[in-house]
Structure 1
């Protein structure tokens, strides 16, 4: 057989060198500093049952139905999550039917709660071994005396992560539906059209957003923008942390994006949802839970 000429030998040398380089680039023996970026860990494959047979709720005054029935009072019967009212048709009623919802849904939300309070609430809920836990919290983290007092985003994240860890410690298969934090700036823009509502706000309802409701100077505008930004940051946290749990589903910002009007606000404080507002929240949640796919 004829020996390869110089041109062929040169070509073979180049091919061999390229092959060696390719092997080196794919191997696992290179020091970390020489690698050009490891692939991120794949997201967990979602697992979701659209027909859970029991529901527990955690959160704040919205989930307690505060100011929906009478002034300065909880009214859990109209809660969007677990209430029994026919005017609302809560998530539990829509999922379980009215008779089963009466015995297989529980409300552990607490008026005034912030995200830091949810690990304790979810620990109580876990004792019921619910198929689904609903979460709605964050408004009170933004509704503080001033913007400097709002819960830092890092603390909010740590508390929500702890909430899920607390649940998963005993209930690894329980589904979690997470509602986004409402748009507090829209609440201000809608509620400020009512003179009585603005007088009630002066009693100290969400001062960071609702304080000096008619003040439109640069400082007030910047203050409201800061609250809105913080709410958006909270929602980003809820989405990101929930995405890391294969049995957690975020509403995709549906509550934040909902274009509510004064008809969905309490006639006692123009801040909390009215019965109609609670019904709209129940509709949003039901669509979110029943949605098929990731």
Structure 2
């Protein structure tokens, strides 16, 4: 709007009306009564987050399947942080719903080995349950590749996550989504490499981009691990940004990435995936984030 040296009483009245939402503004300047333009309505407030959802569906990868928490190279969904029934874990679903209700109102569609590109299929399956809350933990396998060159690109990761949310929204537009950050893989390497048995299991192909040559600390190995670490941080930035664009989505603020997994929280079969205790810690983080009013 252009200012004039002297405003007429009519212009002052128009401006006063605009302040109370009756809209009007001099579109051409001067004292002429040019066309008016309606003020834009105030944006609708974001829907309040429901901290007590009545059902939970989980999507993601081996972490959500409880892989290697109960036995070597096998899933153990009973101890899943998201939907497991184990009293040792006290999963998110059990904490939110109670054990009896959780048994019939929580579902685990995660698949060990999944990458972000696989999440759309899982979201479609989860949506058939019309869940009130969907938990997402995915991205570690996008970084855990045979080499750093094989890692999912940041752009590809973003497109895959956006597609997964779009699939969910097409079938369950009001479902809330809790998104856990990708864990700090370098931290897991630094903890697990102290165990000789764990390093032998790593040689079977567990996250080679980070864990190969576990004892090597030369420049090339350090650069390789730092490259993986940077990519994980970039993935988490994508999760935060994409989630922020969805009114029903809540990112954990990097809480899982920041959690300092110790040897007690790592599987004693592969020294990389969460142990039963580690799953319980993930459940605690998720419950705290979901129940928070902000």
TM-score, with length taken from structure 1? 0.86
The offset of 1:16, in angstroms, is 5.7
Match of 1:230 in 2: 231
Report deviation, 1:141: 0.1
Query: 2:280 aligns to what?
Result: 279
Compared with structure 1, are the counterparts of its residues 193 and 126 closer, same or farther at alpha carbon in structure 2 (3 Å cutoff)? same
Aligned to 1:206: 207
TM-score by length of 2: 0.86
Match of 2:19 in 1: none
Post-superposition Cα deviations, 1:157-182, rounded to whole Å, max 9, x if no partner, equal: 00100011000012111000000000
For residues 240 and 168 of structure 1, the distance between their equivalents in structure 2, rounded to whole angstroms, comes to 17
Where 1:62 maps in the other structure, the secondary structure is coil
CA RMSD of aligned residues (A): 2.1
* Contiguous gaps of at least 5 residues in structure 1: 1-12, 18-25, 30-41
Secondary structure at the counterpart of residue 177 of structure 2: strand
Tell me the number of residue pairs that the alignment of Structure 1 and Structure 2 aligns. Answer: 264
Highest Rg: 1 or 2?
Answer: 1
User: Where do residues 233-272 of structure 1 align in structure 2 (5 Å cutoff)?
Assistant: 233-272=234-273
Contact 1:192 1:213 in 2 (8 A): yes
1:161 is aligned to 2:162: yes
Match of 2:31 in 1: none
* Aligned match of 2:62: 61
Deviation (angstroms), 1:202 = 1.2
Q: Does 1:15 align with 2:16?
A: no
1:84 counterpart residue number: 85
The answer to whether structure 1 residue 131 and structure 2 residue 153 are counterparts is no
Quote the offset at 1:218 in angstroms. Answer: 0.6
SS of equivalent residue, structure 1 residue 52: coil
Contact 1:50 1:289 in 2 (8 A): yes
User: Which whole-Å CA distance do the structure 2 matches of 1:292 and 1:125 have between them?
Assistant: 25
Higher helix share: 1
Counterpart for residue 109 of structure 1: 110
Deviation of the 1:145 alpha carbon: 0.4
Corresponding residue for 1:94? 95
Unpaired runs of 5+ residues, structure 2, are: 8-24, 29-42
Give deviations 1:26-85, integer Å, cap 9, x for gaps.
9889xxxxxxxxxxxx89725310000000000000000011111111110000000000
* SS of alignment partner, residue 203 of structure 1: coil
Q: Could you tell me how far apart the structure 1 residues matched to 2:136 and 2:230 are?
A: 21
Give, in whole Å, the separation in 1 of the partners of 2:100 and 2:293: 25
Tell me which residue corresponds to 1:22: none
Q: Give the alignment of 1:20-31 within 5 angstroms.
A: none
Structure 1 residue 260, shift from structure 2 partner:
1.1
* 8 A contact 1:136–1:181 mirrored in 2: yes
| Dislocated runs of 4+, deviation >6 Å | 26-29
CA contact (8 A) 1:123 1:167 kept: yes
Alpha-carbon distance, 1:226 to partner: 0.4
**Does structure 2 retain, via aligned residues, the 8 Å contact 1:188–1:209?**
yes
Determine if contact 1:44/1:245 at 8 Å carries over to the other structure.
no
